[in-house]
Amino acid sequence: MSTPPAPLRMVEVSGAEALWLLEGSSLGRLVYTQRDQTVIRPGRHTWEYGRLAVRTPAPATALPATATYHVDEIRAVGGTGWTVTVAGPLDVITDPDESAHYRRTLAGWSHGPHDTLLRLHPKTVAGFRLARGEA
C-alpha cells in the first residue's frame, strides 16, 4: 500500500526574502511581449547595486521598455521549492567597460547580435515558497 502524497501549497514570501532567493540563483527566464506574442528567453543574471543584470539571447532592438524576469527552483521529488518574479523597466547595457564585465561574469547562450546584456530596474517583486500542506 502507498500513502497519498501530502497536499502542497504556495506560501507568499516577503520582498526581501524574494530578492535573497533571486541573489542565490543564476538562471532564469526573461518574459516580454513582441507583436502581441509572449516571448520567453533563457537568461543568466546577477543582482548588483539594486538592479538585475541579465544576459539573454534576445535581439536588443526587439526588447520592449518593460519586461518580467522569472526565476524558480522546484524540487519535484520533495515537493518543495520557490519561485520569484521581478518586473520593471529595461535598459540595454551599452557601456563597453560594464558590458565587458558582465560578459566575463555571466555565461552566454549565444554569441553575436542576439547576445544582449540588459539591466532590469525592479518595480514589483513577488515570491512564493512551495510547502507541504498540513494534513
pLDDT, residue 67, reads 93
Domain coordinates of the chain in residue numbers?
8-126
The pTM for the full model equals: 0.85
| CATH number of the domain located at residue range(s) 8-126 in this protein | 2.30.110.10
Nine-digit cell string for 5: 502524497
Residue 73 has pLDDT above 60, yes or no: yes
> Which residue type does 31 have?
V
Average pLDDT score over residue span 86-92: 95
Question: Which tens digits make up the pLDDT trace of 110-131?
Answer: 666 678 999 999 999 999 998 8
Q: Who's near 16: CB < 8 A, 6+ residues apart?
A: none
pLDDT band at 8 (very low <50, low <70, confident <90, very high): confident
